[in-house]
Structure 1
Amino acid sequence: MNSREITFAALFASLTAVGAQISVPLGPVPFTFQVFFVLLSGLLLGARLGFLSQLTYVLVGALGFPVFAEFSGGFAHIYGPTGGYLLAFPIAALLAGYVTEKGGESVGGMTLGVLLGLAAIYILGWLRLGFYLGENFGKALEVGVLPFLPLDLLKGALAVGIARPVRRMGGF
């Protein structure tokens, strides 16, 4: 990795931390702006750097730095109700970046990458939350997936809308 790549990966880890602070509590899973930056990191940085940026974010938070929602941190978050969502962030960035790299910079390719990234976040998040709720996966779907779908689809569309012109400018 060169210094430019390290800088961009660190930038998106930091932006994800900022996005975590834009938070509205909705039960055990808060609404945040993290997902936007997770997806944008994959779309702009590609699979490898997007993955590394989000892995950095999760590791820094797990080590106790206050980068998660409500300026919190610590390994308990990885093991807690939102742990599945957090662990899915690097995978989501990887998927969004991979599909964008393979499918070009088309709206369709980026949209597919965003949808796969969101699917990874929701599947891992839903599973972890379901186990946390005593294997009540219906309740986990009700409180940890369904309320967030419309807003996350909007964040994904916004990420695609920003990533396409930025990639065309050649900044990433």
Structure 2
Amino acid sequence: MTTREAVLHADYSIRTVTKMSICVALCCVSAYISIPLPFTTAMITALTVVMNLTAFILKPKQTLIVMLVWILLGSAGLPVFVGGTVGFGRLFGPTGGFIIAFAIAYPIVSLLKGRNNSFVRYSLAAITVGIPITYLGGVISMMLVLQVTFWQACVMAVFPFIPGDIAKAVLAAFLGVRINKLYHD
């Protein structure tokens, strides 16, 4: 079996692998679009728009692969984490829970988006599932690493980000519907 046949046999066409590669690249680039806040180690970032968009345009398994590749790139030493940070140690830092939660949240969002190209369904999946799972990861890592209470972790990792994350989820849903209309598999 040739490489091309193996790729096609695994249900990964050239088009799908290209879409996945573009999503990985967008994750890497969007992590640089970050705004630090003075009261927390977490940042406002464009990465969450791209993570949601990835979930909306790819299947759940493909979304998981994109998340894992992005995490592996950052862990291996490429500066692709939020703010251009790098290293395996970031997974065990105060914001490491966010990174790990991405690999859990967004494949689930992709699963819950359904088969129909629906702005409302995409938005609801991202807001009711993706955001809470991501926040849970961030809260847990901040509590463990910074030795803060649950409330303090929520003040640093959740409350300031809710309005922006909802807006980013809605933006990603809008873009996802448009992209899927243009390029349906």
Question: Shared fold by TM > 0.5?
Answer: yes
Report the TM-score, using the length of structure 1 for normalisation: 0.92
Deviation at 1:155, TM superposition (A): 0.3
Q: Deviations over 1:46-79 (max 9, x none)?
A: 2111111111111110111111123221011100
Which residues of 2 match residues 55-134 of structure 1 at below 5 A?
55-102=68-115, 104-115=116-127, 116-134=129-147
Aligned equivalent of 1:9, options 20, 23, 27: 20
Distance across 2 between alignment mates of 1:85 and 1:70: 14
Q: Runs of 5+ in structure 2 lacking a partner? A: 1-11
| Percentage identity across paired residues of the two chains | 27
Residue type of the alignment partner of 1:50: T
Distance across 2 between alignment mates of 1:138 and 1:145: 10
After the TM superposition, list the runs of 4 or more consecutive aligned residues in structure 1 that deviate by more than 6 angstroms. none
* Number of residue equivalences: 171
Residue type of the alignment partner of 1:38: M
The yes-or-no answer on 1:31 pairing with 2:44 is: yes
Conserved? CA contact 1:88–1:120, under 8 Å = yes
Residue type of the alignment partner of 1:20: A
Say which is worse superposed, 90-99 or 72-81, in terms of deviation: 90-99
Report the TM-score, using the length of structure 2 for normalisation: 0.86
Deviation at 1:171, TM superposition (A): 4.2
Residue type of the alignment partner of 1:85: F
Bigger radius of gyration: 2
Distance across 2 between alignment mates of 1:97 and 1:69: 22
CA-atom RMSD, angstroms?
1.5
Residue type of the alignment partner of 1:80: G
Q: Runs of 5+ in structure 1 lacking a partner? A: none
Deviation at 1:137, TM superposition (A): 1.6
Distance across 2 between alignment mates of 1:44 and 1:79: 30
